[in-house]
Amino acid sequence: MEADLQPVADALADLDDDHLHALIESANGVPQIAPGLPAWIEHVVDWEINRRRGVDQGEFAHPRIEFETKGLGGNGGQLQGFPV
């Protein structure tokens, strides 16, 4: 079962353009323990920017994120709440 992402879309809609771009920069600057997460954040922010321009893209994609748990007692896993 995939999570309802409407709250994410609503939160993005509440941000102004400068904050949307800052979100992308921030996501790309974090350690890569969840390599797909920054790409997904960039995807959903781009989706919101395009939505504001009137581009109909349908719903944005659910994340498919694996994260690194070496040194944390595991060999990999999934981001809680998001199926991998």
Q: Are 37 and 62 in contact (CB under 8 A)?
A: no
Domain count within the chain? 1
pLDDT of residue 1: 53
Domain range for 10 is 6-78
Examine the pLDDT at 74 and tell me if it is beyond 90.
no
Residue 4: other Cβ atoms inside 10 A:
8
Determine which of 14-18, 30-34, 55-59 has the lowest per-residue pLDDT on average. 30-34
47: in domain: yes
The fraction of the chain above a pLDDT of 70, given in percent, is: 73
84: in domain: no
1: in domain: no
41: in domain: yes
18's tokens:
């400068």
39: in domain: yes
Q: What residue type is 13 in one-letter code?
A: A
The predicted model scores a pTM of: 0.66
83: in domain: no
Q: Is 6 exposed, middle or buried (0-12, 13-18, 19+ CB in 10 A)?
A: exposed
The Cα–Cα gap between 22 and 52 comes to 17
